[in-house]
Amino acid sequence: MAAFLPSTSCCSFKFSNLPSKSHVFTLPALPLLCRRSNYHRHHLSLNRVTAALSAVDSPLKSSSEGQDEKSQPLLQVTGLTAVIAESKQEILKGVNLLVNEGEVHAIMGKNGSGKSTLSKVLVGHPDYEVTEGSVVFKGENLLEMEPEERSLAGLFMSFQSPVEIPGVNNIDFLHMAYNARRRKLGQPEIGPIEFYAYLYPKLERLSMKTDFLNRNVNEGFSGGERKRNEILQLAVLGADLAILDEIDSGLDVDALRDVAKAVNGLLTPKNSLLMITHYRRLLEFIKPTFIHIMEDGRIIKTGDASIATVLEEGGYKAISGSGSNFRESRGLGKILISICSWLVMIWEVVSAFDVVNDLVADSVPHADAVFQQLSSNVFRTWEYFMLEKHRLLQVKCPRLFVELQLQSRDLNNHAVLQAS
């Protein structure tokens, strides 16, 4: 849940009463408490698929299309690759993502496809090293910022499994975090009574009992209560970009509704949301502008909300299936091109001899050039034909090929003779 930092900068503080080794928490965005073991926590129709995947493979382009001209890019991830710091195993293999202001993005994908890793890399989790690519957040290089600076810049992350902070009272934690943010923004700190007045409506909106405030952060909280508490933090601290990793897991349907209502209430035309989820249920409550499908460390598809329906009904096979249909249709296209190549080739070969004779008179030095000229008249821009032509000619009509080669040699000799 809370962003931790091994730094002692002005916005970090230590909880002296923590039972375990000293933890330094980044404030005010909190949302990342590092535990090295945490990442392991958890885990149609063709028309419909095609419609859903009007989707493009280049999210950077797709996300910006059709958007309000005034909405500015908030987060721009380009070719991001990242490895596990310890083992150097590559997890992110070139992620592209553009999130504009006022947009809600959902990332879906099979277990282990790299969704949580992407979000953790974005908040600067020390378990990962960025090896390539860039991340621009609000016009600044996010990768150059410390995790704490990222949160102060307006990035919030809610973890899949929010951690406990034994010995730290929830309301104190929120209060300190909130004041740290105010300090950073050059605003005066507020006292406990004023803070409670600020906090109470948010608690109500999330249907959280006041008891939760006096309990230690997440200690003994049920899964759903932890998730609500994460959203409470988001509501208190605010964010330009909130990353919610599986906020729906462990929530009953009423809790999901409450959480979604609270999240929707926080959305403005200026801030954005990046949600990681496995289920359409959440997306029915929080409507995404775009859904991205992640696979093997990359975003492989981007589309509208209908992708979630396809996924729910057909699973990831439906998405991959559409991919293979696409590939099959490309295969069909290749066959058609081959047939056309054949026809063109026959036509060319038949006419070649006449043209060659004509061109010999003009001293064209190479038979290849003759072919080039012939073909370019018909399919000037279709380079595929150019490449295929000789290969097909050689394979399918070896005698003609040899004959033309000989002519080419004769043409060369002719040119050499002329030059001398």
Ligand X SMILES: Nc1ncnc2c1ncn2[C@@H]1O[C@H](COP(=O)(O)OP(=O)(O)OP(=O)(O)O)[C@@H](O)[C@H]1O
Binding footprint of ligand X on the chain (CB under 6 A): 39, 42-43, 84, 91, 109, 111-117, 127
The least CB distance from residue 116 to ligand X, in Å, is: 3
Q: Whose Cβ is closer to ligand X: residue 11's or residue 82's?
A: 82
Token pair 């809610």 in the structure block, residue: 158
Closest by Cα among 230, 18, 2, 38 to 128: 38
Provide, rounded to whole angstroms, the least separation between the CB of residue 391 and ligand X.
42
Q: How far apart are CA 172 and CA 177, in angstroms?
A: 8
Query: How many whole angstroms separate alpha carbon 187 and alpha carbon 364?
Result: 81
Of 40 and 209, CB closest to ligand X: 40
CB closer to ligand X out of 113 and 407: 113
Tell me the three state secondary structure of residue 76: strand
Cα separation, 331 vs 162, in Å, equals 47
The least CB distance from residue 406 to ligand X, in Å, is 60
Nearer of residues 112 and 269 to ligand X, judged by Cβ: 112
Nearest approach in angstroms of CB 117 to ligand X is: 3
Instruction: Give dist(CA 127, CA 25) in Å, integer.
Output: 16
Q: How far is the CB of 84 from ligand X (least distance, A)?
A: 5
Determine the Cα–Cα distance for residues 311 and 52; give it in Å rounded to an integer: 10
Helices and strands per DSSP (H, E), number in the chain: 14, 14
In 204-357, beta strands by DSSP E: 216-217, 241-245, 272-276, 290-295, 298-303
How far apart CA 86 and CA 126 sit, in angstroms, is 10
CB-nearer residue toward ligand X: 113 or 218: 113
Sheet containing 290-295: which strands, arranged edge to edge? 155-158, 241-245, 272-276, 104-109, 290-295, 298-303
Query: Shortest Cβ distance from residue 184 to ligand X (Å)?
Result: 29
CA distances from 38 to 168, 257, 287 (A): 20, 27, 29
The least CB distance from residue 19 to ligand X, in Å, is 25
In the complex, the smallest distance separating the C-beta of residue 89 from ligand X, rounded to whole angstroms, is 6
CA distance 80 to 102: 23
Task: State in angstroms the smallest separation of the CB of 279 from ligand X.
Answer: 11
108 vs 171 by CB, closer to ligand X: 108
Instruction: Give the Cβ contact number of residue 162 at 10 Å.
Output: 25
Identity of the residue, 181 or 292, whose beta carbon is nearer to ligand X in the bound complex: 292
Q: Judged by CB, which is closer to ligand X: 112, or 223?
A: 112
Closest to ligand X by CB, 111 vs 381, is 111
Residue with smaller CB distance to ligand X, 42 or 215: 42
Single out the residue of 98, 89, 141, 154 nearest to residue 117, CA to CA.
Answer: 89
Residue 104 C-beta: closest distance to ligand X, Å: 19
> How far is C-alpha 373 from the chain's CA centre?
45
Return the number of the residue (63 or 117) whose C-beta is nearest ligand X. 117
Residue 168 tokens read as: 């730290």
Which pairing describes strands 73-84 and 128-137: parallel, antiparallel, or unpaired? antiparallel
CB of residue 324 to ligand X, shortest distance in Å: 22
- Would you call 262 exposed, middle or buried from its count of C-beta atoms within 10 A (0-12, 13-18, 19+)? buried
Cβ neighbour number for residue 201 with a 10 Å cutoff = 10
In the DSSP assignment, the letter for residue 39 is G
Length of the chain counted residue by residue: 420
